[in-house]
Amino acid sequence: MSTRSNDEEKPEDDEEKQRQAALRRLGAHLLKDAHSRGISVCGWQITAKKLPILNMQSVERWEQLLGTSHLPEMVFGDSALELVHKASGICIHFNALDALRSWKEEGLPPVEVPAAAKWKMRSKPSEEIVLDYDYTFTTSYSGSESFACSTDSQAEGLKLEWSETEDHIDLVSLQARDPIVFYDEVVLYEDELADNGVSLLTVKVRVMPSCWFLLLRFWLRVDGVLMRLRDTRMYSSFQQDASAFPTVLRERSIREGKVQDLLARGPLPDMLADTDGSLVYDKLKICKQYTETLAAIRVR
């Protein structure tokens, strides 16, 4: 039996060495407890918390809070991604409750498909089902922002506000082969539309030696009818002065396409293999896209 020499290290061993070296250079610290993982790096603390789906008692409480009797099949109500800039007190937060508030406020009409009534008969099959709500749970949510509790007076009298900018996220730099010092993905909610598609809201974050980057994605596939992507990308490069107000860019986009129109332009990839819309991303029409920057505005 042959043995591997010290010179023939596995690629993953080399990647881990690069990651550990980058963590040391940055003075970063990885964080972990029973339900969360995170990193403290360059003035930011980034935490991904993952917990089970809501129990029935919590579902009922959420329905009262939202003023609805409909929620996705799986709501990870206690899961969240949080990014806190310690010096400024900026807190950027992603959670299912705020996302469903946005769904309720937008109130899109239900997607018209013949099978829709059958999908929703699973709970009360003896009653006629009237689809008078957006059962796809499409949300315009792009994150929540506030000032975290802090004794620092810097945030007093200020509020956070997004404004459009001509700047753009440098996606090319994100493709550089820098080591990823931290990565995680948090599912906020999911509904399989009774095996007739998927409605999924997730947020992924990765931290490199020069920046952090995240993608909040709502992915909808109604089999044979419609595909929809609503993406929010956020990016912040690390500054030499970690106490300075950070620059955070947010790019929001909406892509959509009817399956019939997409098929007319050519074959589609295996939809069962496309778990998050990545395989059809370039095939969907861009309906809206713009970039914003985060600023602290003085409250009068």
The residue range of the domain holding 238 is 26-298
In a domain, 3, yes or no: no
Q: How many domains does the chain have?
A: 1
In a domain, 10, yes or no: no
Closest CA to 254 of 68, 92, 108: 108
In a domain, 19, yes or no: no
Q: Does residue 141 contact residue 98 with C-beta atoms inside 8 Å?
A: yes
Model-level pTM?
0.89
Going by pLDDT thresholds of 50, 70 and 90, the confidence category of residue 1 is very low
Strands, E, within 8-142: which ranges? 29-32, 36-41, 44-49, 74-75, 80-85, 90-95
In a domain, 20, yes or no: no
**Polymer length in residues for the chain:** 300
Q: Give tens-digit pLDDT for 78-127.
A: 999 999 999 999 999 999 999 999 999 999 988 877 555 455 545 555 55
Residue where the block lists tokens 């996220």: 169
Q: Give tens-digit pLDDT for 235-287.
A: 999 998 888 999 999 999 999 999 999 999 988 888 878 889 999 999 999 99
In a domain, 153, yes or no: yes
In a domain, 261, yes or no: yes
Q: Does residue 216 contact residue 143 with C-beta atoms inside 8 Å?
A: yes
How far is it, in rounded angstroms, from Cα 296 to Cα 283?
37
How far is it, in rounded angstroms, from Cα 50 to Cα 53?
10
In a domain, 21, yes or no: no
Question: What was the pLDDT predicted at 195?
Answer: 81
In a domain, 211, yes or no: yes
How far is it, in rounded angstroms, from Cα 81 to Cα 186?
7
Closest CA to 212 of 185, 181, 243: 181
Q: Does residue 297 contact residue 161 with C-beta atoms inside 8 Å?
A: yes
Residue type present at position 83? L
Half-sphere exposure of 41 (CA within 13 A, CB side): 26
Q: Does residue 142 contact residue 232 with C-beta atoms inside 8 Å?
A: yes
Closest CA to 274 of 265, 286, 283: 283
Read off the pLDDT of each residue in 134-163 and give the average, rounded to a whole number: 84
Q: Which residues pair with 236 in a beta bridge?
A: 212
Q: Does residue 96 contact residue 186 with C-beta atoms inside 8 Å?
A: no
